[in-house]
Amino acid sequence: MKEENLTQLSTEELHKKAKTLKVATIALFVSMLLMLISGIILTAKKGFSALTVTPVSFLPLVIIFSAQLKKVNEELKKRNA
């Protein structure tokens, strides 16, 4: 994936990007927690399965989205200062 230069985006585009990233990060984190809880319950009832480790595979996405959101917010702070 090509790295997008945040300095070339308008402030309005940055606000839109920040909002989208925030919603996506929160939704992914909540779904990851739900998968973790259901994985623990399934493991307790039926034993170990692939669903038990599925939330771990989504952790890098949450980290990447959070890092991108941080960069966008830093760029917005630079423009407002």
For the record, the structure tokens of 5 come out as 């230069």
Q: Tell me: the pLDDT tens digits for 34-67?
A: 999 999 998 999 988 887 888 888 999 999 999 9
User: What is the model's pLDDT at position 2?
Assistant: 54
Q: How confident is the model at residue 32 (pLDDT cuts 50, 70, 90)?
A: very high
Which ranges of the chain would DSSP assign to H, the alpha helix?
11-46, 54-80
The half-sphere exposure of 59 on its side-chain side, counting CA atoms within 13 A, is 6
Q: How confident is the model at residue 3 (pLDDT cuts 50, 70, 90)?
A: low
For the record, the structure tokens of 29 come out as 């984190």
